[in-house]
Chains A and B, each alone.
Chain A
Amino acid sequence: MSSATINTSEAFADIQEEITADAAADPTKKKLGVFFWICVGWIVLVALMATFASLLPLPNPDLGNYNSVQNAGPGWGHLLGTDDLYRDIFSRLVYGARVSLVVGFGGALIGLILGGIPAMYSAYRRGRIDTALNTTSYVVLAFPALVAVIAIVSFWGHNLWKITLIIGVFGAPLIFRVVRASTLSYATRDFVLAAKALGASDRRILTRELLPNIMPTIVSFGLIAVATIIVLEGTLAFLGLSVQPPTPSWGNMLNEGASLLTGAKGQTNPWLVIFPASAMFLLLISLNVVADKLRAYFDVTEIKL
C-alpha cells in the first residue's frame, strides 16, 4: 500500500475535506441551525416543483407564446419574463431543474452503487482485490472527467439518461476512494473484531456494523457529489453538449443568455443570464451547506470531551 503518496485523488479528497471542514463555527454545540433548514427547504422546493412541473399552471417551456413580448423583463404575465423565443423563463427554469436534479442525484446514486459497494467490501477484506481496485481507481481518476465525458457524449449522444450514466460511472472511482478510506478507519476497530468473534457473517458485519458508521460520510460526501455532478452537467450544457434544445436545462439557458449578452443578434436579455445563474447558485450553495452541516453534526471527533 502506498499510503503516503500524495495522489491526485487523495489530495482532492483532502481539499474537499479541508474546504468544508471549518464552516461549523462552534463544534461543542450540536445544532443544525436555521440556515440548514432554509437550505433543505430550498432543495425540497426545487425538487417538488421539478417533479410536479406538469401539474403546475405553467406555460409550455419549449413553445413560445407569440402574443407576449419577446425578451420581456419580470412582470405579471410572465413572472420572470420571456426569452428571445417568447418562452416563459420561469417555466423553463422549473422544467430545467429536472435535468440538474436527475443528473445530479441519479449520477451520484450510480456512483455510489458502482463505487461505494465495492469500496466497503474491498476495505473490509483487503488483500489482492483491494490492491487491484485501489490501483484501478487511481488510474481512472487520472483521466480528467470533463474531457472524457465530452468525448463520450459527443460520440454516443446527448440523451439525459446516457449523460447521467456516464457521469455516474466517472464519479465512481472518487466515491470508491472516499468510502474505502472511511470503511478502513472502522474495519479494524474492536467492535468489528467482537462481532467477528461472536461469529457474525461478513454480510452482517458489513451491513449492521460498518454501514451505520460510514453512513454520515456517505450522506455528506454524496451531497457534495451531487453538487459536483450538477456543475459538470451544467458545464456540459453550457458547452452545448448536454440535453439538446428546446428542452431546457439551466446550463443551456445560461448559454442562450450569454449568446444574447453582447446584442450581436440584435437583442439583449440580461435576465436570461441572471435568473438561471441565481437558481444554480442557490441550489449549489444549499447542497454545500447541507452537506457541511451534516458532516459537522455527525463528526464525533469534533466533540470536545
Chain B
Amino acid sequence: MARYITKRLVLLIIIILFVSVASFFLVHLLPGNPATTILGPNSTPQNVATVNAQLGLNKPLYEQYFIWLGHVFQGNLGQSYTTHQTTVTIIQQSFPIDLELIIFSQIIAFAIAFPMAMHASRRPNRLFDQLSNTTTFAMLALPAFVIAPVLVLIFAVHWHVFPGPASYVPLTQNFWSNIHTMILPSIVLALGSIVVYFRLLRNDLISTLQEDFITMARSKGLSDRRIMWRHALRPSSISLLASAGVVISGLIAGTFVVELLLAMPGLGYQLISSVNQDDYTVVQGITLFVAVAIVLINFIFDFLFTIVDPRIARE
C-alpha cells in the first residue's frame, strides 16, 4: 500500500510539473509578443524592449520559467492587462460558480442514474431496460453545446420555466434565485454524467445479481428490495466510483458552454473573454488552475478508490 501510494505521488508530481511547464511554454513558444499586445499602437521597437525588460522577457526562457514558478508558489498568477484584477482574484470570484454547477449536476445525475439502473437491472433486456439503454445511447450524441441551446429554447424562451441568459444571481445575494438560475445548466451538465453512471451501474448490477451470494440471499427469503440495497448495490458501484473522477474532468467542456450561453461569470466564461481580449496572463493562470485542479481531482478519486477496494494497490 505504502509503495503504491509513493508511486502514485511521484507520478502526481511529474504530472503537475508537466502541467506547469506546458502552461508556461504555451504562452512563450507560440507566435505573438505580449509586449506588442500591451502597447497596442504604441509598439515602437524601443517601447517593446522596455516592456520586455520590465516583464523580464529578455531573460533566458528556463530562467523565466523558474521565476514564474516561484511567483505561482507564492500565490501570484499575474494580473489582467484589461481589468487590472489579479488572476487569483478572478479565479476566486469565478470558481465557486463552477463548483456549484458541478455539485448540482452530480446530485441530479446520481438521483436519476441510480434508480434507473436499479430498475433496469432487475429485468435485463425487458421493456424498461431497453428503453433506458436506447435513451442513454442517444444521449451520447447530445454534447452540451447541442443540447444546451435546445433546452434554453424550450424551457427558458418558450415556457419560461427557468430564467434565460444573463440572469445569473450570486449565491450570497439571493439564495433561491441563485438556485433557480442554476437548475437548467445543471441539468445540461447532468445529462452526460447520467449516461456514464447508468451504463456502468446497470452492467455491474446485472452481473452482481447473478452471483451466488445473491441466490443465497434470495433462498433465505429476503425481499428484492433488501437484496438490492443491502447486498447488490455496494459491490456494483465500484466502477462507477472509479469513473467519477474522469466524469468530473469531462464536465469542463459542458461548464464552459453553459457559462457562455447563459452569461454566468464562471471560470470558462472568464477564460473565453480573456482569450478574446488577448489577456495572456489570465489565460495562462486559468489554464494552470483548471489543469492542476483536474489532476488533483483524479488523484484524490484514485486514492479513495484504493480505500474502497484495497485489492487494487496490492497487485
Contacts and interface: CB of A to CB of B under 8 A. Distances in A.
B272 A144 contact: no
Chain B, interface SS category: helix
Which 8 residue pairs across A and B have the least CB separation, nearest first?
A: A284-B141, A4-B315, A285-B141, A238-B145, A154-B275, A155-B30, A258-B149, A231-B143
B249 A8 contact: yes
28 contacts: A7-B302, A8-B246, A19-B195, A22-B203, A25-B125, A142-B18, A142-B294, A142-B295, A143-B291, A146-B256, A147-B252, A147-B290, A148-B287, A150-B272, A151-B27, A155-B31, A231-B145, A234-B145, A239-B260, A241-B275, A254-B149, A257-B149, A261-B149, A264-B165, A273-B149, A274-B153, A277-B146, A281-B141
Given A5-B302, A150-B271, A261-B164, A144 B146 contact: no
Contacts of A7: 302
Contacts of A190: none
B149 A155 contact: no
A182 interface: no
A228 to B, nearest CB: 9
B292 to A, nearest CB: 10
Task: Name which of B26, B152, B312 has the most chain A CB atoms within 10 A of its CB.
Answer: B26
Given A235-B253, A277-B149, A241 B272 contact: yes
Interface size class of B (residues with CB under 8 A): 35 or more
Contact of B257 (A12, A239, A257): A239
A285 B260 contact: no
B245 interface: yes
Contacts of A2: 7
Contacts of A19: 140, 195-196, 199
Interface stretch (B8-16, B46-54, B103-111, B174-182): B8-16
Contacts of B280: 155
B157 interface: yes
A15 B141 contact: no
B146 A254 contact: yes
B75 interface: no
B32 interface: yes
Contacts of A280: 141, 143, 146
A261 B287 contact: no
Interface string A125-165: 00000000001001110111011101110111000000000
Given A8-B245, A8-B298, A284-B140, 14 more contacts: A5-B302, A11-B243, A15-B246, A18-B239, A138-B15, A144-B294, A147-B290, A147-B291, A151-B283, A231-B145, A234-B145, A261-B164, A263-B157, A274-B153
B260 A154 contact: no
Contacts of B294: 142, 144
Given A11-B243, A261-B165, A239 B143 contact: no
A5 B313 CA distance: 7
